[in-house]
Amino acid sequence: MTKSDFNLDLDYLPQLPQNRDVPIGCIGAGFIMADCQLVAYRQAGFNPVAISSRNPERAWEVAKRHGIDTVHDDYRKLLADEQVEVVDIAVPPDIQIDVVREAVKHADRIRGILAQKPLGVDYEQAKEIVRLCRDAGITLAVNQNMRYDQSIRACRNLLQRGDLGEPVFASIDMRAIPHWMAWQQRLGWVTLRIMSIHHLDSFRFLFGEPQRVFASVRPDPRTASKFDHEDGICLYILEYENGMRASAWDDVWTGPALEGSEGDIGINWRVEGTDGLAKGTIGWPDYPHRTPSTLDFTTKRRPGYWFQPRWEEVWFPDAFVGPMAELLCALEEDREPEINGDENLNTMALVEACYRSVREHRAVEISEIIDGVSPGG
């Protein structure tokens, strides 16, 4: 049997709903909404019908660019708009819960909410957002969009097919300089709740729930010149009960690449199993250039070969179809979305455990956050 006989038809694209006409109301008109979500929604044939922003001029500009007919100058007016059935919330984390509290007042019409990550400012607030939606009967999904990066989904398919065997070790090595938002200075956050949350959630998506985490951080020199923060450059190790280990280096400094030196920018990931090895790159740091993420893998099932499936889609913006598609499919099929609020609480708990680990200089059991269990309790 030759290399060409091996099945490279990996399941890397999201399921799409049969009905793509469900009216969507968009709250927020910043970069993620304007340049990622709405671009992806139009590509997929979804139906954004209204938008609001605290900056009405910005909302009108985005509406014109994406063919949205209705613009509201206040999110409360959008939530009261009789045509809106699904709400896409893309506002700063500390404002999110106020929007949800208002949204649940319209539960007779609003059927679903897609909320940005992080889901609120901390684990406790995330639990409250989940409760509010559950009590109102509104289906909540969380926009953990790195799960829909093509290389991450393809890797999960390899794991599900058994091509890699039992996972042994995984790593993400990020050397990239994100575009930080103005509201981060207000909250004093840099990396853990903004960028690392993608990697932590992806580890959960690929390997399930870790037992504990050890995290170490230092300030990012570039961002420290602008505002105080603790979670700049972040390193962390996830320990699984079965012996699996995962680790990430989230280096948002990468050297003085913006201050005069040459840059060395990129994100590389690797998954080692008992029967195979997969490695890849995330194309996001090249945005706005369309650079697809990549996947290379080798397996004992076809010894002696490296396989290199490739695709045209990219994380930013194409993968942003995935979270909204999953919410719409869940509504269509009367089920919970894969990225539902309860599921996302485990990602929020993992982020919270990282912060506790940093502050207490120890490994933290995830149960300490979820169950309120003290060490050794």
pLDDT at 262: 94
CA 157 – CA 110 distance, rounded (Å)? 33
pTM over 0.75: yes
In a domain, 240, yes or no: yes
The verdict on 167 and 295 lying in the same domain is yes
Q: How many residues does the chain have?
A: 377
The per-residue pLDDT for range 284-338, each reduced to its tens digit, is 999 999 999 999 999 999 999 999 999 999 999 999 999 999 999 999 999 999 9
Q: Check the CA dihedral 111-115-119-125 and report its sign.
A: negative
pLDDT 10s digits, 56-89: 999 999 999 999 999 999 999 999 999 999 999 9
Q: Which helix (H) or strand (E) holds 86?
A: strand 86-89
Is 218 a member of any domain? Answer: yes
With CA atoms as reference, report the closest residue to 98 among 117, 122, 120, 77: 120
Q: Does residue 374 sit within a domain? A: no
- Give me the CATH number covering residue 76: 3.40.50.720
Per-residue pLDDT tens digits for 2-26:
666 788 899 999 999 999 999 999 9
- Count Cβ atoms below 10 Å from residue 171 Cβ, excluding itself: 18
Give the pLDDT confidence of 162-217 residue by residue, as tens digits. Answer: 999 999 999 999 999 998 888 999 999 999 999 999 999 999 999 999 999 999 99
Domain tally for the chain? 2
Helix, strand, or coil (residue 11): coil
DSSP 26-80: EE--SHIIIIIIHHHHHHHT-EEEEEE-SSHHHHHHHHHHHT--EEESSHHHHHT
Q: Which two tokens stand for residue 131?
A: 């409760």
Distance between CA atoms of residues 321 and 317, nearest Å: 8
Helices (H), 162-248: 183-187, 197-207, 221-224
Mark whether 142 and 168 lie in a shared domain: no
Distance CA 338, CA 23 (A): 21
Q: Do residues 294 and 157 share a domain?
A: yes
Q: What's the CA gap between 274 and 142, in Å, rounded?
A: 32
310: domain CATH number is 3.30.360.10
Q: Are 97 and 186 within one domain?
A: no
Domain-embedded: residue 294: yes
- Residue 246 C-beta-side C-alpha neighbours within 13 Å: 26
Q: What is the pLDDT of residue 376?
A: 59
**Cβ atoms 173, 268 nearer than 8 A:** yes
Residues 307 and 204 in one domain: yes
Same domain (yes/no): 119, 153: no
66 & 124 share domain: yes
Is the pLDDT score of 39 beyond 60?
A: yes
Going by C-beta distance under 8 Å and a sequence separation of 6 or more, which residues neighbour residue 165? 273, 274, 275, 276, 300
Q: Which residues pair with 270 in a beta bridge?
A: 171, 279
> In this structure, are 68 and 159 located in the same domain?
no
For strands 167-175 and 266-273, give the pairing.
antiparallel
pLDDT tens by residue, 110-119: 999 999 999 9
Q: Are residues 140 and 284 in the same domain?
A: no
Q: Which domain holds residue 240?
A: 149-316+348-360
User: Which strand (E) or helix (H) includes residue 346?
Assistant: helix 341-360
- Give SS3 for 142: strand
Specify whether 156 is located in the same domain as 290. yes
Does residue 287 lie in a domain region? yes
Asked, for residue 158, whether it belongs to a domain, the answer is yes
Judge if 48 and 189 occupy the same domain: no
- CA atoms of 40 and 315, how far apart (whole Å): 10
Say yes or no: 153 and 129 in one domain: no
Q: How far apart are CA 292 and CA 302, in angstroms?
A: 26
HSE (CB half, 13 Å, CA atoms) of 92?
A: 13
Q: Cα separation of 4 and 257, whole Å?
A: 42
The token pair that represents 7 in the structure block: 């099945």
DSSP letter (8 states) at residue 307? B
Does the CA dihedral 370-134-32-78 come out positive or negative? negative
The overall average pLDDT reported for the chain is 96
Section 36-43 average pLDDT? 98
Of 340, 286, 281, 326, the residue nearest 40 (C-alpha): 326
Is 1 within a domain? no
User: What CA–CA distance (Å, rounded) separates 48 from 24?
Assistant: 4
* 5 within a domain of the structure (yes/no): no
**Tokens 């982020």 found at:** 351
Cis amide linkage into residue 303, ω under 30° from 0: no
Q: What are phi and psi of 161, to 5 degrees?
A: -75, -15
